[in-house]
Chain A
Amino acid sequence: MLTTSVPPPPFSRLPPLPTFPPSISPEPLTPTLAAQKQVAELCLSQHEIAARAEPHRTFPFDRVAHAEFLAGALEKYPWQFQVQDASRPWLVYWAVAGLSALGEELEDVEDWRDGLVATFKPCQNLDGGFGGGYGQLSHLATSYAAVLSLIASEKEECYRMIDTRAMWHYLGRMKQPHGPFTMCAGGEVDVRGAFCALVIISLLGLPLELPQDAPARKSGCDNFLTNLGEWIGKCQTYEGGLGSSPGNEAHGAYTFCGLGSLCIMGTPSKTVKKFLDVDLITKWLSARQYAPEGGMAGRTNKLVDGCYSHWIGGCWPLMDAAMQDESPNSSKRDYWSREGLLRYIFNCCQEDGGGLRDKPGKRADAYHTNYNIAGLSWVQNKYSFSEPKDGEGVASGLAPAHGWDYKPVVDIPGLPDGRVNPHHPVYVIPWTAAAKAQAWFGANRAMAR
């Protein structure tokens, strides 16, 4: 368990910017390099100020201010925010996931759990999916955000409002015969669609068999997983990460969605190895972490950004599970710098007065607040997966949420003050919520075919 007696290691463990001797042909200063140098200097100065001011050598984690910021994100917005009208389920998901991880009960703030059903009823369509608001078309992204928010509450009244049978039919209509899913009827086909659909299928315990009215059946496709692993494999680029669809540039968010999908489809050490080049993705993920910033960038030669604390940082728990049987050492091994990311989040992403952000100089928002907090969960815990015994899987053989386990990591600075409640590495909601939902939906499965 967690011990507090371990002293923080010295600041020098965060390595400095590699400085190369003058080269024969000096590196040309292009827009990419100029921006990179500027951000590196900005972050280094943040690290230096933090190390001067405080014995733990990071800025303290301002838990209450961040919780207040997220609670504020659930309040009423002025009209200028109507450009977010199609993203309200996301705003709710970011806030409730972040608040659950912070575990902060705020006085004078009504419990968000009581507002969920009222919020999502108008978004729910007869076709089974959720749209961004009343009268908006069903969309896999908003369905994902709505289902996760409802499940994060751990309340039965929230479970009950999801129409599982209609949802099953809706997802069936999104399945494409060549493997992936479209985000909505007439919308884009990319790896987010697969991840959103699989998260919903596995949490609600829906059958993997496609409903009879699924159009993909006409092409001989009878299962949600048909051709899916192969298609995700094709999203892996020559660099090692995954793009949104085959041929597109490797990108952190799509890589998380692809890996997450494979980690739902079966035991990660089998599915990830079967469909991806593991050496290549490990190398690419590793190269996304920069010094002296310590944070993660989403693509090659792009800048660090707090949301990739999750999109890249969150790939590491999944890769840990994928590689846990490689050698006797594997379960103890780390492939990345937890300390570097922790420092980036604490020193560079906290906005004075609450909320977390992309990088110094940017404004905090609910999205970056949630995904930085999720990053803390990946930094602070070591995750693993144990294959379920027979019959313990969900929806005919998917990897169950409770197959995952975590152990808190103790020897990083800034703790225990900055510790958050651990998220589930696949579902990115509180640890207990995912397994509890699977158990409830499993026991209440009354799906007439």
Chain B
Amino acid sequence: MVDYGSDPAWSDVVPIVQLDGGPNALAQIAYSDEYSEAMSYLRALMAANELSDRVLSLTENIIRINPAHYTVWLYRARVLLDQNRDLRSEIEWLNPIALKYLKNYQIWQHRQTIVDKLDDPTGEQEFIRTMLEKDTKNYHVWSYRHWLVKRFNLFNKGELEETERMLDEDIRNNSAWNHRWFVVFSQDDSVWKDPGIVNRETQFAKSKIQLAPQNESAWNYLRGILRNSGTPGSAIMGFVLQFAPIDEPEKIRSSHALDLLADIFRELGHIEDAERALDLLANIYDPIRENYWTYRKDKLVISVDS
């Protein structure tokens, strides 16, 4: 703990004390003396627009007390970018903080600012992997990863293999599925005209469905491929029927297969079969969504009428 008030290095600064709105103000916080003093010095430095080394030590102290303070992070980033500061050591300082405060997101925006300026992604994929081992679906880490892959064109640098490894660990990790989609399909629309890739990904999704037929993530992925590649659902009807043998309803193993089957029947004009599939969903296999399945049924009739 630094005592700013008696430290000669800070004697030129006139701290700006907290203004908290007086006795009427709502949701006030009884700050600790340490935090209160540090913030008073920060306000003074910010008011003077000082971009010095002591800003770095002050913000480091405040972040230790309150890592969710966006202003402190932003001001720190300004100082770091202002002159040629050592951004590598900033990353090394950040790593343990990120691992300690898993749910903190300001840290990821800061990291993005620093790595962007560094113009070098070395070590980032490894660190992301460490983070995701602790928190496999952390939205901010995945968002940062998307940014990193795009910024440094890492699409073919182990990302696909990494999603595969994570799905081997948890086949239902939807963040990993979404990342796979991002890596494979988001670079360029011409990918949809590449039968090699479309087939590879279709097979990938199918093989995962075989392992866990009631996993919505894999079905969403498969349906996304069908829709974007313009593949009619009827092309995979045999596959879908394995999990939703509609003539033997007691053997149905996946509500998502039944849902897709209803769409395939509609596409083929087999309205009664589609209704049968939707009834099974509404009554037996996914009844909390009864209203939705009824809506889908009504839409079948509307589309036939028009």
Contact = CB atoms under 8 A, between A and B. Distances in A.
Given A82-B65, A300-B174, A335-B292, A28 B211 contact: yes
A238 B228 contact: yes
Given A95-B27, A336-B292, A83 B68 contact: yes
Contacts of B65: 82-83
Interface in B32-87: 32, 35, 39, 42-43, 46-47, 65-71, 74-75, 77-78
Nearest to A121: B21
Interface stretch (B2-10, B89-97, B136-144, B271-279): B136-144
Q: In this complex, which of A78, A187, A249, A291 has the most chain B Cβ atoms within 10 angstroms of its Cβ?
A: A249
A73 B27 contact: yes
Given A18-B284, A32-B170, A122-B21, A87 B137 contact: no
Interface string A93-131: 001000000000000000010111011111000000001
A139 B70 contact: yes
Nearest to B253: A23
B213 A27 contact: yes
Q: In this complex, which of A24, A92, A245, A248 has the most chain B Cβ atoms within 10 angstroms of its Cβ?
A: A248
For chain B, what secondary structure do more than half of its interface residues adopt (helix, strand, loop), or is it mixed?
helix
Interface residues of B, number: 87
- Categorize the interface residue count of chain A: 35 or more
A15 B47 CA distance: 60
A21 interface: yes
Contacts of B216: 287, 300-301
Contacts of B253: 20-21, 23-24
Contacts of B252: 20-21
B20 A134 contact: yes
A445 interface: no
22 contacts: A18-B286, A77-B28, A83-B66, A83-B67, A84-B29, A85-B35, A85-B69, A86-B70, A88-B27, A118-B24, A119-B26, A122-B21, A131-B71, A184-B74, A187-B74, A237-B181, A238-B227, A299-B137, A299-B174, A299-B175, A300-B217, A337-B291
Interface of B: 16, 18-22, 24-32, 35, 39, 42-43, 46-47, 65-71, 74-75, 77-78, 109, 113, 136-137, 139, 142-143, 146, 150, 169-175, 177-179, 181-182, 185-186, 210-217, 220-221, 223-224, 227-228, 250-255, 284-292, 295, 298, 302
Interface of A: 14-15, 18, 20-21, 23-25, 27-28, 30-33, 73-79, 81-88, 91-92, 95, 112, 114-116, 118-122, 131-137, 139, 184-188, 237-240, 243-251, 282-283, 286-287, 289-291, 294, 299-302, 327, 329, 333-337, 340
